[in-house]
Amino acid sequence: MRVTVESEQRAEEAALVQAARSGDRVAFGALYTQYGGVIHAVLISRVSFGDAEDLVQEVFLRAMERLPDLKDVQAFPAWLFSIARRMATDYARQRRTTCAVDHIASTRPRPDGEAFAVLRQIQSLPETYRDTLILRLVEGMTGPEIAQRTGLTCDSVRVNLCRGTKLLREKLEGGLK
């Protein structure tokens, strides 16, 4: 049953957070793998793609340092998102004094310019829709997975996806005209 599976997942995740809080690096590595995509989505909706890759590392390194202070292991996802959002905001503020870099050295093939053009359109959408759309379209997560990872209700995710896609469609069609 879905409810049982979800509660089992939550329990497993809580155990991982607990283990990571006690200094278990393998457990922390598992959390990094599980949440890396979501944090990446939060970041690329706010900063340039090239910077997001490094910032994912920064977010997790900061989380690792501060994890012993986390009181409630169930609050880990929300806590991690707040670190990511704060770091993205700080980073964007600092970066206003530097030039934009989407074209960076990376260990993977560079996506084409059209991908960045669409990403910029998503970045211009209201914040409510950005993360959800990126999780669905970039990170390849399904609606239920997004709800599970972000703590949003399925209804909220569905609404964000529908409205976000509609707005994005309008922007892209407008851009083509």
Chain residues binding another protein by CB under 8 A are: 12, 19, 24-30, 32-33, 36-37, 40-41, 44, 49, 53-58, 60-61, 64, 91, 94-95, 97-99, 101, 104-105, 107-109, 111-112, 114-115, 118-119, 136-140, 142-144, 158, 161-162, 165, 168-169
Q: How far is the CB of 69 from another protein (least distance, A)?
A: 18
CB 75 → another protein: shortest distance, Å?
21
Query: How many Å apart are CA 8 and CA 16, to the nearest integer?
Result: 12
Please, what is the minimum distance in Å from the beta carbon of residue 163 to another protein?
11
CB nearer to another protein: pick between 6 and 12: 12
Asked if residue 138 lies in contact with residue 42, where contact means CB atoms within 8 angstroms, the answer is: no
Q: Which of 101, 103, 105 is nearest to 91 (CA)?
A: 101
DSSP code of residue 110 = P
Sign, Cα dihedral of 122, 123, 127, 130: positive
Least Å from the CB of residue 36 to another protein: 5
> Cα separation of 170 and 174, whole Å?
6
Looking at the Cβ atoms of 79 and 164, the one nearer to another protein is 164
The answer to whether 134 touches 122, Cβ cutoff 8 Å, is: yes
* Closest among 49, 43, 46 to 115, alpha carbons compared: 49
Nearer to another protein, 54 or 74 (CB): 54
Identify which of residues 37 and 79 has a Cβ nearer to another protein in the complex.
37
Place of tokens 């990126």: 134
Nearest CB to another protein, comparing residues 69 and 109 = 109
Smallest separation (angstroms) from another protein to the CB of 157: 8
Please measure the distance between the N-terminal and C-terminal CA atoms of the chain and give it in whole angstroms. 49
